[in-house]
Structure formats: structure tokens, C-alpha cells
Amino acid sequence: MQFLSTIPPSGFSLRIVSAIPKMSGWDRVRSSRSRLGGLSRNSHASEPQPSSRTVRLGRVQPQAPGYRTIYCNDREANLPVRFKGNSIATTKYSIFTFLPKGLFEQFRRVANLYFLMISILSTTPISPVHPITNVAPLSLVLFVSLVKEAFEDWKRLQNDKAINSTLIGVLQDQKWEHIPWRKLQVGDIVRVKQDGFFPADLLFLASTNPDGICYIETANLDGETNLKIRKALERTWDFLTPDKASKFKGEMQCEQPNNSLYTFTGNLIVENQTLPLSPNQILLRGCSLRNTEYIVGAVIFTGHETKVMMNAMNVPSKRSTLERKLDKLILTLFGALFLMCLIGAVGSGVFISRKYYYLGLGESVENQFNPSNRFLVATLTMFTLITLYSTIIPISLYVSIETVKFIQSTQFINKDLHMYHIETNTLALARTSNLNEELGQVEYIFSDKTGTLTRNLMDFFKCSIGGEVYGTGNTETQKGAAQRNGIIVEEVWKSATAVHEKGFNFDDARLMRGAWRNERNPDTCKEFFRCLAICHTVLPEGDESPEKITYQAASPDEAALVTAAKNFGFLFYRRTPTMIKVRESHVEKMGKTQDVSYEILNVLEFNSTRKRQSVVCRYPDGRLVLYCKGADSVIYERLADGNNEIKKSTREHLEQFGSAGLRTLCLAYRDLSCNLYESWNEKFIQAKSSLRDREKKLDEVADLIENDLILIGSTAIEDKLQDGVPSCIETLARAGIKIWVLTGDKMETAINIAYACKLINNDMKQFIISSETEAIREVENQGGQVEIARFIKETVEQELKKCLKEAQRYLCAVSRPKLALIIDGKCLTYALEPSLRGNLLNLSLNCSSVVCCRVSPLQKAQVTSLVKKGAQKITLSIGDGANDVSMIQAAHVGIGISGLEGMQAVMASDFAIAQFRFLTDLLLVHGRWSYLRICKVVMYFFYKNLTFTLTQFWFTFQTGFSGQRFYDDWNQSLYNVIFTALPVIIVGLFDKDVSASLSKKYPELYKEGIRNSFFKWRVVGVWAFFSLYQSLVFYHFVTTSSSNGHNFSGKMFGLWDVSTMAFTCVVVTVNLRLLMACNSITRWHHISVAGSILAWFVFIFIYSGIMTPYDRQENVFFVIYVLMSTFYFYLTLLLVPIVALLGDFIYHGLQRWFFPYDYQIIQEIHRHDPDDNSREELLEIGNQLTPEEQRSYAISQLPRETSKHTGFAFDSPGYESFFASQQGVYAPQKPWDVARRASMRSQRTPKKI
């Protein structure tokens, strides 16, 4: 989760401070007009302020290279520069480039290239087959792929057309003329209405809102749905109406188009005055206008030069582990191919001889058959045989797998009703179809806590004000703990004062309805509420009444706090860039309210290092206050001396809250004197306008004023567990999946949540490695950084070794308990160092659950890759916030919770689900089935092509190794694409070993995927063995039985009769073999299998029945009729497939009888069940304790020791990108990377085939 998202610095208190980069011939321009109080209202930018250091520049300033000058509202002046138009084309191809470019794309795939080479080989005389044999399947595959490409490109074209012809109001002749987007030019003045999209990157000139602000939504850029504020330069506020706007003649000098979404440098020169521009005046294409009637802007960048378009790039796609193993299988096939060709080639060299005079091997014979150069014969025959045996590589395998996976993800996963979440109206979404089967092999799940395990619906639950705890009620964690202890929790009687709305679940008569005025220290309460109402970056929306107002916040915590203030009688209802207006009801008379405006002078924003946020505000009466809220650790450091009583009691309360699983924040304030503030503000402005290390300097300056704080109290926010999380985790654990929770929360919160989720129970042996020990704290209090680091590292090392030893002892024990490891972020930093990494990995792999608390986003990614790379296990990361992005991308499978916290996680993920509990369906049902199906499809392809090719191989031995083909060209070329293509796809879609409900009922079945039981070399071996067996049966049975006359007429069969017979047997057997491999047979199976066999007969009836005028050897003319006129045909057709399948049948029978797979037992148990959704009582299998038993054990081992730290639980939005890349963790660290992904939605990369 994140606090304060990536809102660009919005100058609520300051006028725009912008930086113009250094340019030759330019003075460094720095506009830093800082005016305090209400002054800003009256000032006009056109009147130069005495303090302003604005440099006036004439229009004749030399243009620095790399900068563009735009004349606003003056098309002629812009003409010579030839800016690009505003039409966009996201299509990959045009009519002319489609074929060459599309084909090029296709042939970048190795498989296609291989078949292209084979096709080229087959046009040469060394080829035994007609080119059609290889060209036909290749063309079909290419055709399918190209049609798909064309279709997708066509959709993109339509989309582009629609976008390009959207109408937009442009100023022409003092009127708003509506012209399509594509006709927009740089420099045009446009009007964008509410909820409209910006057609290009615009300079924001004027808005209907007062103060020249507008609200924009950047969901299309970064997926964030909270509103952002943009503010126009004061100088341009007036150009709102057409007649006024037409008078606007400005010149803009700005950077060249680039892809950085959050920076912009430039100047606006109006009437010889240079005004610096910042990102705050820029409205980017792709964003939309909200809460503003309309705005007027000038076009800066158009079309492909807009920042969002410059960000468009391909997303690197993940490949599944199974696919990588598939590559190995293909390589093995290549090896087999090579071996077969080698044998054949050697044979041909030995065989060839002039004694076979009937072969016409005279003096002028071609090289391939020239007996005087046997080596050349062998070499050329090698190529001949490669062409002949090319069918061993299944050409349609990739197409089929892609098709299957595509349908699996779009039809099954995306439309699964079990994964539809009614409350948020969200379905599961497979953002890639590459990883379906990976879902069936996951062994480690890395989960974020907040928003993933919990709902991320933050409710203000308790608070501590001035050393007093307020708020009744128990958290779910507490209830769970109490139940474990056997205490019956009485439902707290809801008092009349209880209010429960979104973000607020608080009840205490002492505070509600103004009762706080009678408390011991009402002034502290007032400060508390004001702090809540003022110190935030929330935007109010909707009606200004308490009932109807809603808050737009970057994180739900903030919204909850503001909502709390509202309920306590401090309604924050309006925000302007400089003001926060609060309707306070603390005035003397009950029920009366008073609107108070607080001027916001500075906002010291939140970030992950600061862990706090401050606001400097001025009361209407002139009082200057700094309100601060943040993590207890950072606030306590900055408190003024004294007041120890409150500090102590608040600290105790924080610990209480923390162990109850609540998220805490400390609130503090400080009164500022005018002088102190002025001098600080100077430094602040300097820091804010500095060009280098601005962030760092700002932090340093903020540090100067954020001290001597007075503690007000603390807040506690509850984040409830999502529905079904405990049972889901239990199920996944039974499935053999190990779940690691990586959270930014404090240890006690994390442990409690882990208990509540049944991740840890009391049968488990827990190893806790924490930096919160007395020894470490002591060192921390005195030692320097180096000393601390050394000490912690040593401690961690010792701990790890100790735990590892113990863990190994447990492993050897007879009744081994499950192990759990709990480690905190600080220790993890050291444990992840290369020297300790091995120990950490060993220890954690022995644990069935691991909890890492207080970890940074980078550490999340590091832990993930530790397991992924170190243990070679298949990992899955699930999270919902921007801080999970790196983890999501580091894992094999990334899952985003499409929840409340922006879309970054979803944008970076491979699958998006609405609730954590849907993981059960996604993994145990879809993942497992996909894995089974893909394995079956791959194995079957392997088998059918190997079988087919081997029959050819056996034939080679009896043709003098000449490479004569056994089958007719067309038979061979259609074998893969027609006669055996469809059934395997049907199996890939519909095969089910056990039903969905049984899959969830017996999660242990999932272990077969983890063990990779269905794609091992042993399995490949079994299939290969039966391929060999069957091919021998096909070849020898058919040829041996064909060596005499076959009916009363005594006529003999020729080569093509025999081969057609063999081919018929192959087609029939291979199709029936598939049926034998099916676990469930739908009518689609029957249709496709029967259809394929039928297709063969129909084909051969027609094909052998006609003579064509083309140059075709009439080899198979009439053969099928000749064959079918004999008993031999029918007897062989009955005999050969049955003999061929007998081997498999015996194998399967024995396997099932003596070494059954788990799923087979489950099938047998439920063999009499009706179809899915049976309500019947299912047999319970397993050795699970009842929940009650578990709870009764739980009492003793609850973590008693409360640490001195408390539940600060805000995560940061930005994650350490630099370090991440140093560590080799690939992740789009910067928000614009996320945006880049977001912008990809408009031009999705086509599915690879």
C-alpha cells in the first residue's frame, strides 16, 4: 500500500517554483515568489514583485539547440517548423508493409525458421518429398498467425481512427470550432470540457474554477484513480472565453518531446515577460478532466510526440517453466532427428553401388547417387533425410498450445463465475496467456499483507489523545486470539453514538457528538482533530454537507483519518491550492458550526525515508502551526522534551494497538513563530528550487523544522481480513504451497495476522529473528552506524545458524513439526547478504511458512528472487500496491489484487484477481487443469509426430537408405494440420481429471504439479517407448501382411497401397490413443476424434478418386478403393490399431492398478457422483485438526512479549529503483515505467504464436 501516491509536487502554499535547465546564453531563471498569507490573492504576476528574481527576456533570445519554440494561437508562425500532426497510428503494419514485416516477425521464431529452411530444402532435388509436404503446413501456420496479426492490427486501426476523429473545440475566429483531434496543430488553443480527454499535451492556460486550478485523472497513465490538481499560471487565468483567448499571443520555449511523464521544463513568454513553466501547468494526453467545467490550453506536443505515446513500448513477456522445459524436449527431438539421419546417411553411403544397374547409376549420375563418391552421397542423403523426417518436430505444436492457452485464459479464467467479486464487480483477468500452466506448479507464494490478505478498507478504530485511549470494540485479530484462548467474546453493545461508515468504525461516547469538550483536556482533543482535518493531501468531492461529501485520497488511511475528523465535528470540505476550509462545530453553542479557513503555507510530503508528513498552516487569527503525523519511531525522535507522562502512556497505547493488529500513526504539532518560519521558509524555497538533489535537500530542510514537536496522540486504524483468507491459506498449505507473508507492518501485527490467517499455528515451531532485542537496542543507542551494522550482522548470523541447526534436528525427528520463520526487515538486510544468503535459504526452505515484516519493496523482490533463483522453485507473488510491483515482476507469476489502491500492481501483474481467496480457484482449479492439459497436449504432440516419423524411418531401411518417402506428399503434409490437429486442442481445453469442486476439496492433488509429475523425463520416456512400439507395429504388421495377393483376383499391392494402409492405421490409432488418454470425454471429444478419422477417409476418397491435370505423380490413384475391395484392409484395420494400443492399455491398467496417481484414486472415490456441483457429502480425507482443536492449542504460544515498537504501517509509494537495478532485480521502479505499461493498453502486444 502506499501513502501519498505519486502526486507531483503541487504547490498548495507556494507559487510555482520551476527550474529552467542550464542553457547557453540563458541566465538561470528562477522564479521564487513566496508570499505569505492572503497576499497571493491580490498579486498579479504581471506586476513584478520586488523579491522576484524573474529575468525578462526579449523575444530575440537565441534558441538553444534542442529546444522548441511554439507560437501560441498562430498557425502561420509555427508553419516553418513542421511540427508533427496530432493523428496517431498505433498499427504495426500498413497495407504495403504487412506481408514483408509480418512474415519477418513470424520467421524470427526458431520453429518457423526451421520449417522455412526445410521447405527450401524440399524444393531442391535432394528432397524426397514434394515441397508441398512442408510448405502446406508452414503456410497454414503462417496464415493463421498472419490473419490473427491482421485482425489485431485492424482493431488497432479502428481504434486509432476513432481516437483521431474525436472532436475537440479549437479556437478559430474567436469561436470554438469543433475539429477532429487529428487536425489539431501545435500552438492551437483548445477547450476541453469536463470528463473530456486531453487531445495532446497541453499548456494549461485557464480554467472555470477559481484560482486557475483544475482536477485531472491520470488513470490511463498510471492507473491511479485519485484526482490530481493542476494549476495555471496566474498570468493566463483570464484567457477563458473565446474573445479573450483569441487575444492570447504567447511564445513558448520548451524542451523537445521526451518520455518523462513527471518533468517538464519551459518558459512562456507573454508580452516580453518570461514565465517559467513546470509540470504543474502541463496536461498530458491520456488524462481526463474532472470536477472542472472546462479548461483552455495551448497545444505543446502532438500525436506521437506526446509523452504518453513516447512511453509506449513492449512489455517483456514471461515464459513459463514448462515452456522452457519444452524447449529441451524439442532439442532432444532434434537430437533424435540427427541420429536417425546419421544412421540413414551412413547406410546410404554403404548401400549405393553400381551393381543395382536398374537404378541407372551410370557415369553421369547426379551426386546424390554417385557410387564413386560415397561420402558425398552420405552427406547429401543426410539433408534428404532431414527433409523427410522433418515431421518429427511438431510444427503445429506452438500454434496449438497458443490457441489452447488463449482460450483457457480468455474464456475460462476471465469468465469464471467463482472468481467474480460482486461487491467490486470485478472478474479475474489474465493479462497474459503465457503462464496458465505455471499456475499449476507454484510452490512458493509471496504475499503482501495489506490489501491482499486484508481488505485495505481502513476504518478509524481507536485513538489515543493526550494519554487517554478512546474507542471500544475488538478487532478481528483480537477476537481470533480470544477464541484461541477459549474466551467467549461478547458482542459489544452498540451505543447510540456509534457511527459506522466507510473509513470510520469508532464508538466512544466520550468523544462523539461533541462530548469531547467535557474531557480532561479538550484542547488536546481539538488539536488532534485539527491535525486530522488539516494535515493530509486529500481532495473533497461532491456536496459539501457531511453526509454527502466524499474524499479522494491516495491511500485509504488518509481518507479514514479525514473521515474521522468529520465525524468528530471537523468537516474538511474544500481545498484550494492555498487554503483548507474546515467546518468546525466546537463553537460554544451546540449544533452551531463555524467555517474556518486555514492557509496552507507548506506541505512537507510523505516519503519512505521520512515516514512522516507535515503541513504548515496559518490560522485565521495568524497563529502559525506545523502539524505532523507519521511513524512513532520518527515522531518520538523529534518530540520536545518534557511531557513524559503522555509520551509513556501513548507509547503503551501504540503497543496495545499494534498487538491488536491495528495500524498506528502518531500525531504531533508545533507552534511556530513568525521569524522562525520566515527564515526557514527561505531555506525551503531555496531547496525547492535547487536543481540538484532537490529531494534530498528538501528532506534536510524539512528536518530543520520538524522538531520540538508536541505529541498529541495516536490513531489506530483497522484493516480487516478479507473474506475467506484463512480457509484459502489453509487450503493452499494443504496443497503443498508454502506461503510467505512479506509486509511492511511491525512484527506483532504481522504475527497476529499470520495467526488469524492460519498461516502459523501453535503446532509449529517458530523461529523468530528480530532486530528488536535488548542487546541490539543497546548497541543502537550508543554505537555508530558501522558498529551497529557489524553487531546486527553477527547476531543475525548466529541466529540463523542456531535456527538452521535446530531446524535440521527437527527434520530428522520422527514426528516433525512444521516450522515457521519470522524475520524483520532490518535483519533481512543482513541475512540477504551473499555470505548469509545460503543459510537463510536453507532455513526458510525448511519452513512451511515465513513471515517477513517491516520489509521494503526492494527486499520483497530480493526475497522473491532468492527463492526463485536460489532454490529453483516456482514462485508466485501477490500484492495490490505500488510497493508490490517489484515483487510481482520478480516472481515467475505475478498476481495483482484489483483492489482499492490504484492499479500499479495490476498493471505489472500477469493475472489480476479481486480477492485473495480466489487464489484457490486460480491455482487449484485453473492452474492445475492448465498444467495437466498442457502436459498432455505437449506429450501427445511429441508422441504422434515421433510415431509417424519412426514409421518412415523403418521404411528407410528397406529402400536402400535412399530416403524414399513412405507416404504420399499430401498425406504427410495434412497429417499434422488436419488429421490430428483438432482433437488435441479439444483435450487441451476440456480434459478434466477431477471436477473443480473436488480439486478444491482435495488440494493435495496440486502437489502433482509441484512435483511436475506429468512432464518428467520418465513420462517422456514412457511415451517415447510406446511411440517406438507402435511405429514398429504399424510398419511391420502392415508390410509383412501385404506380401501376397489379397483377394480372389490374386493381384498384388504396390508401395502406395501399403503406405496408404499404414497411414490409415496411424491416423486411426493416434486419434484413438488420444481418447484413451482422456480423463473426461465430452461430445466434443467424440466429434473431433471421429471427425478427424472421417476427415482422413473423406480426403483419401476424393484425393485418390481424381486425376488432376497438374504435374502430379498419380501414386495414390484409386488405392483406397483397391484396398477397400479386399478383406485384408478390414482385417488389418482391426488388428493393427488394437495391437498398437494394447501396449498402452496394459501399461495404463497396471499403472492404475498398482501405482495409481492421486487423482485416479479421487476419481475412483467419486466415480458415482453426478457431474459437477454435487451437493453430496464428500468423503473427508486427510488428517486435519478441527478449528477448535487448533485454537485450544494456540493459547500458550501467542506472542506475549510486546516490543517497544508499534504498528506503524504505511508503506512508501516509491521504491528504491537504483538499488533494485543494482541488485539485478528487474522492475519498473519509476512511476513512469508503470505509466508506460499503462499506456500499453491501447496497443497491446500481439499474442505470440
Partner 1 sequence: MNSNVASSSGGGGVDGSSPPRRNSKRPKYSRFTQQELPACKPILTPKWVISAFMLVSFVFIPIGVASLLASRDVVEIVDRYETVCIPEDKRADKLNYIQSTENKTCSRTLIVPKRMKQPIYVYYQLDNFYQNHRRYVKSRSDEQLRDSKNENDTSACDPEDDSNGLPVVPCGLIAWSLFNDTYSFSRNNQNLTVNKKGISWKSDREHKFGNDVYPKNFQNGTLRGGALLNTTQPLSEQEDLIVWMRTAALPTFRKLYGKIEVDLEANETIQVTLQNNYNTYSFDGKKKLVLSTTSWLGGKNDFLGIAYLTIGGLCFFLSMAFTVVYLVKPRRLGDPSYLSWNINPAGH
Residues tagged active-site? 448
Do 984 and 937 meet the contact criterion of CB atoms below 8 Å apart? yes
Q: Could you write out the DSSP letters of every residue in 250-274? A: EEEEEEPP-S-TT---EEEEETTEE
Q: Is 412 in the site for partner 1 (CB under 8 A)?
A: yes
Q: How far is the CB of 1059 from partner 1 (least distance, A)?
A: 7
Q: How far is the CB of 966 from partner 1 (least distance, A)?
A: 9
Q: Is 992 in the site for partner 1 (CB under 8 A)?
A: yes
Cα atoms found within 13 Å of the Cα of residue 993, Cβ hemisphere only = 29
Touching partner 1, residues 717-746 (CB under 8 A): 736
The residue among 123 and 1196 lying less far from partner 1, judged by its C-beta, is 123
Q: Which of 327, 595, 794, 1172 binds partner 1 (CB under 8 A)?
A: 1172
The residue among 401 and 996 lying less far from partner 1, judged by its C-beta, is 996
Neighbours of 1100 (CB within 10 A): 24
Measured over the CA atoms of residue 1194, residue 1195, residue 1197 and residue 1203, the dihedral's sign is positive
Neighbours of 147 (CB within 10 A): 11
Q: Is 1128 in the site for partner 1 (CB under 8 A)?
A: yes
Strands (E), 93-187: 167-172, 175-180
Q: Which of 245, 308, 427, 538 binds partner 1 (CB under 8 A)?
A: 427
Q: How far is the CB of 1222 from partner 1 (least distance, A)?
A: 35
Touching partner 1, residues 787-816 (CB under 8 A): 816
Touching partner 1, residues 448-487 (CB under 8 A): none
The residue among 390 and 771 lying less far from partner 1, judged by its C-beta, is 390
Touching partner 1, residues 877-916 (CB under 8 A): 900
Q: Is 425 in the site for partner 1 (CB under 8 A)?
A: yes
Strand duo 539-541 + 504-506: pairing: unpaired
Give the residues across from 897 on adjacent strands: 913
Which residues touch 483 (CB under 8 Å, ≥6 apart)? 489, 1191
187 dihedral zone (left: phi>0; alpha: psi -120 to 50; beta): left
Do 612 and 628 meet the contact criterion of CB atoms below 8 Å apart? yes
Write out the three cell numbers for 942: 511429441
Please tell me whether 744 is known to bind a ligand: yes
Q: How far apart are CA 759 and CA 763, in angstroms?
A: 11
Touching partner 1, residues 1025-1044 (CB under 8 A): 1037, 1039-1044
Q: Which of 355, 692, 1018, 1175 binds partner 1 (CB under 8 A)?
A: 355
Residue 35 CA to its chain's centroid (Å): 45
Please tell me whether 1057 is known to bind a ligand: no
**What backbone torsions phi and psi does residue 786 show, to the nearest 5 degrees?**
-65, -45
Please report where in the chains the cell 542553457 appears, as a residue: 23
Touching partner 1, residues 270-329 (CB under 8 A): 290
The residue among 618 and 933 lying less far from partner 1, judged by its C-beta, is 933
Q: How far is the CB of 963 from partner 1 (least distance, A)?
A: 5
Q: Which of 769, 996, 1067, 1209 binds partner 1 (CB under 8 A)?
A: 996
Q: Is 1101 in the site for partner 1 (CB under 8 A)?
A: no
Q: Which of 273, 472, 1160, 1174 binds partner 1 (CB under 8 A)?
A: 1160
Q: Which of 210, 362, 784, 834 binds partner 1 (CB under 8 A)?
A: 362
Q: Which of 59, 1173, 1186, 1200 binds partner 1 (CB under 8 A)?
A: 1173
Write out the three cell numbers for 75: 498557425
Q: Which of 56, 1054, 1185, 1221 binds partner 1 (CB under 8 A)?
A: 1054
Q: Print the binding letters for residues 203-232 with partner 1: x by CB under 8 A, - otherwise.
A: --------------x-xx----x-------
Q: Is 1017 in the site for partner 1 (CB under 8 A)?
A: no
Q: Which of 432, 681, 1126, 1243 binds partner 1 (CB under 8 A)?
A: 1126
Burial, 161: exposed, middle or buried (Cβ in 10 Å; 0-12, 13-18, 19+)?
Answer: middle
Touching partner 1, residues 521-580 (CB under 8 A): 541-542, 548, 550, 552
Q: How far apart are CA 463 and CA 469, in angstroms?
A: 6
Q: Is 1163 in the site for partner 1 (CB under 8 A)?
A: yes
Strand duo 539-541 + 444-447: pairing: unpaired
Do 439 and 926 meet the contact criterion of CB atoms below 8 Å apart? yes
Please tell me whether 743 is known to bind a ligand: yes
Q: How far apart are CA 178 and CA 167, in angstroms?
A: 6
Q: How far is the CB of 994 from partner 1 (least distance, A)?
A: 9
Touching partner 1, residues 814-873 (CB under 8 A): 816
86 dihedral zone (left: phi>0; alpha: psi -120 to 50; beta): alpha
Q: Is 194 in the site for partner 1 (CB under 8 A)?
A: no
Touching partner 1, residues 658-687 (CB under 8 A): none
Please tell me whether 290 is known to bind a ligand: no
Q: Is 1082 in the site for partner 1 (CB under 8 A)?
A: yes
Neighbours of 499 (CB within 10 A): 16
Only segment of 40-48, 516-524, 569-577, 1048-1056 that touches partner 1 (CB under 8 A): 1048-1056
Count of residues that bind partner 1 according to CB under 8 A: 126
The residue among 859 and 1042 lying less far from partner 1, judged by its C-beta, is 1042
Q: Is 1149 in the site for partner 1 (CB under 8 A)?
A: yes
The residue among 111 and 227 lying less far from partner 1, judged by its C-beta, is 227
Residue 740 CA to its chain's centroid (Å): 18
Q: Which of 317, 424, 545, 835 binds partner 1 (CB under 8 A)?
A: 424
Touching partner 1, residues 597-636 (CB under 8 A): none
Q: Which of 359, 482, 788, 1178 binds partner 1 (CB under 8 A)?
A: 359
Write out the three cell numbers for 899: 483492489
Please tell me whether 449 is known to bind a ligand: yes
Touching partner 1, residues 365-404 (CB under 8 A): 365, 369, 384
Q: How far apart are CA 575 and CA 321, in angstroms?
A: 52
Q: Is 150 in the site for partner 1 (CB under 8 A)?
A: no
Q: How far is the CB of 294 from partner 1 (least distance, A)?
A: 18
Residue 504 CA to its chain's centroid (Å): 31
The residue among 335 and 1045 lying less far from partner 1, judged by its C-beta, is 1045
Q: Which of 327, 671, 700, 1114 binds partner 1 (CB under 8 A)?
A: 1114
Q: Which secondary structure element, helix H or strand E, spans residue 671, and what is its range?
A: strand 662-672
Please tell me whether 629 is known to bind a ligand: yes
Please tell me whether 854 is known to bind a ligand: yes
Q: How far apart are CA 601 and CA 577, in angstroms?
A: 10
DSSP tag of 421: B
Kindly report the CA angle at 524 between 518 and 529, in degrees rounded to 5? 95
Q: How far apart are CA 229 and CA 292, in angstroms?
A: 11
Q: Could you write out the DSSP letters of every residue in 550-577? A: EEE-SSHHHHHHHHHHHHTTEEEEEE-S
**What backbone torsions phi and psi does residue 1156 show, to the nearest 5 degrees?**
-70, 145
Strand duo 911-913 + 454-465: pairing: unpaired
Please tell me whether 936 is known to bind a ligand: no
3-class SS letters over 784-795: CHHHHHHHHHHH
Touching partner 1, residues 957-976 (CB under 8 A): 958-960, 962-965
Q: How far apart are CA 564 and CA 568, in angstroms?
A: 6
Measured over the CA atoms of residue 1025, residue 1031, residue 1033 and residue 1036, the dihedral's sign is negative
Q: Is 1108 in the site for partner 1 (CB under 8 A)?
A: no
Q: Which of 96, 375, 1153, 1218 binds partner 1 (CB under 8 A)?
A: 1153
In the three-class reduction of DSSP (H, G, I as helix; E, B as strand; rest coil), residue 668 is classed as strand
Q: Which of 96, 493, 1048, 1218 binds partner 1 (CB under 8 A)?
A: 1048
Please tell me whether 1051 is known to bind a ligand: no
Q: Is 1077 in the site for partner 1 (CB under 8 A)?
A: no
Q: Which of 43, 33, 71, 78 is nearest to 268 (CA)?
A: 71
Q: Give the residue numbers of the binding site for Mg(2+).
A: 448, 450, 880, 884
Q: Which residues are known binding-site members for ATP?
A: 448-450, 558, 606, 629, 663, 743-745, 854, 860, 883-884
Q: Which residues are annotated as a binding site?
A: 448-450, 558, 606, 629, 663, 743-745, 854, 860, 880, 883-884
